[in-house]
Structure 1
Amino acid sequence: MKALIIPVTPFAQNCSLIWCEETMKAAVIDPGGDLEHILGAAEEQKVEIEKILITHGHLDHAGGTQELREKLDVPVEGPHKADKFWIDQLPEQCARYGFPPSYAFTPDRWLNDGDTVTVGKVELDVVHCPGHTPGHVVFISKNDRVAIVGDVLFQGSIGRTDFPQGNHEDLINSIRNKLWPLGDDIAFVPGHGNMSTFGQERQSNPFVADMNFG
């Protein structure tokens, strides 16, 4: 699997273009906006976008989903259905923060913990990681040892939990009980900022480091 990070929206959200090197089929993960940049990157890499994957329903991650779906006529998979209320509010979210107009959408497939999604011949495991939002999911390529974690975990930090239906305890449990067991060597693309590894965050992240949990 190959991956390219494309920062989009005024919030500098890390949209990811991932693709299967054998088939050159691709997926866009979290098209929050700036669709011309996303489509330009796909054209530059000579890949065919076959689906859209969504980690959670916040505007900077999902705001461009319906427009991109209509442009490309491709299915949308994710997030977990517990984020439906966020997706339904996308038009209001975007107006509130001065983003371009956005549209609510219904995914072709809501995702659950333990599901898999495919991109070409690449298989990604789905891990439901509530806390930042109740329906947040993470995509893991066990073969490539890479995770796309949205706003669950950042280099040196974790996702906010002060939004409606956010829960700090749930977020800590999601990270420590669902992500850490997958392996210290897994590199992750966060929703904002630089990549890191689960092992590095276990050592040094002040919110979830092992030393803080006995």
Structure 2
Amino acid sequence: MSERPVPQLPATMRVFERGWLSANNILFAEGDDTVLVDTGYVTHAPQTVALVATALQGRPLARVINTHLHSDHCGGNAALQARWQPRTAIPAAEAAAVAAWDTEALSYKATGQQCDRFTFDSVLSDGDTLRLGGIDWQVVAAPGHDPHAVMLFAPAERILISGDALWENGFGVIFPELEGESGFAEQAAVLARIAQLDVRVVIPGHGSMFTDVAAAVERAQGRLAYLSADPSRNAAHAVKVLVKFKLLEAQRMTLAALAAWMEAAPLMAHMRERFMPEQQMAEIFAQTVGALARVGAAQIEGEWVVNRD
């Protein structure tokens, strides 16, 4: 089977497809105006800095933009700021939490994830227009996966930087619903908004660029209907995602260490109490690791659990 063609992008744009621990990075370069959208996870920060430095060939990075502030999208901010002091723009609703470095409000404490402290210079609000790579981009609010997330849409080029609001096959965990807040309705509205935009190519937060936007939206709507029909499905999925993310970070852990991390993560305890009260955490842990092993996402080797891509 032949590989599908790579969508054409303007010469001022470049996408670094990173995987699932780090979000994709989008680099814009037009003269001295160099901008990186999303910066990956903190343990990949040296790699992110190296990718940007190589691509810019001696030019400094002038700006950083974050679609949202989950750890896999902004974990490289601090390292990039240390190297080049870029002006950094974040979603407006996150400004107070970043200024105070409130790791609980920013989700890092709840999820048991890491993110080095960074600063910001400006904020992004729905309806703003940004100039990136010589192209006008509209800031589009994208609550659902994260209540403060934004997307970037270039009407002239018909390109959408969707963050975790839409992937080729799905979208990110609907985190607000795990906390008893609304998220399914917001995700449905975001998918409807994407369907109304005239999009030629989507650059998602994870995975490859794609052009069959209508099919991706339809798949996402089906997935959302399944999850919203029984919110415990969203919680069970979130547990697997968070454990897999930890394995992506560590690559190899003892079963005891991974179980201890799961016990210590506040969001895990909250999900157990809210959605799985009849189960002990040890039982949920065994089920989750077993499920990951069955689909080839992890391998149990004696007392160890090893990540498998």
TM-score bracket for the superposition, by shorter chain length: 0.7 to 0.9
CA RMSD of aligned residues (A): 3.0
Structure (1 or 2) with the larger CA radius of gyration: 2
Q: Superposition pairs for residues 55-66 of structure 1, below 5 Å?
A: 55-66=67-78
More helix by share: 2
Letter in 2 for 1:207: R
Match of 1:35 among 40, 45, 53: 45
Q: Which residue of 2 aligns with 1:46?
A: 56
Q: Which residue of 2 aligns with 1:171?
A: 187
Percent identity of equivalent pairs: 21
Q: Which residue of 2 aligns with 1:207?
A: 223
State the Cα deviation string for residues 7-39 of structure 1 (Å, max 9, x = none).
17x71421222333xx26321111133233223
More strand by share: 1
Q: Which residue of 2 aligns with 1:212?
A: none
Q: Which residue of 1 aligns with 2:197?
A: 182
Query: What is the number of equivalent residue pairs in this alignment?
Result: 202
Match of 1:149 among 151, 159, 162: 162
Q: Indicate how the Cα distance of structure 1 residues 92 and 57 shifts in structure 2: closer, same or farther if over 3 A, else same.
A: closer
User: Do residues 3 (structure 1) and 14 (structure 2) align?
Assistant: yes
Q: Which has the bigger relative contact order, CA under 8 A and spacing at least 6? A: 1
Q: Distance in 2 between matches of 1:208 and 1:182?
A: 20
Q: Which residue of 2 aligns with 1:102?
A: 116
For the residue of structure 2 that corresponds to 1:110, the secondary structure is strand
Letter in 1 for 2:191: I
State the Cα deviation string for residues 192-211 of structure 1 (Å, max 9, x = none).
122223233245443379xx
Contact 1:138–1:147, Cα closer than 8 Å, also in 2: yes
User: Do residues 132 (structure 1) and 142 (structure 2) align?
Assistant: no
Q: Aligned-pair distance for 1:129?
A: 1.0
Structure 1 unaligned spans of 5+? 210-214
Contact 1:94–1:102, Cα closer than 8 Å, also in 2: no
Q: Aligned-pair distance for 1:97?
A: 3.8
Letter in 2 for 1:174: V
Q: Distance in 1 between matches of 2:32 and 2:13?
A: 10
Q: Superposition pairs for residues 12-91 of structure 1, below 5 Å?
A: 12-20=22-30, 23=31, 25-32=33-40, 33=42, 34-46=44-56, 48=59, 49-82=61-94, 85=97, 88-89=102-103
Q: Distance in 1 between matches of 2:91 and 2:107?
A: 19
Taking structure 2 as the reference length, the TM-score comes to 0.57
Contact 1:57–1:83, Cα closer than 8 Å, also in 2: no
Q: Aligned-pair distance for 1:128?
A: 0.8
Q: Aligned-pair distance for 1:54?
A: 0.4
Structure 2 unaligned spans of 5+? 1-11, 226-309
Q: Indicate how the Cα distance of structure 1 residues 92 and 132 shifts in structure 2: closer, same or farther if over 3 A, else same.
A: closer
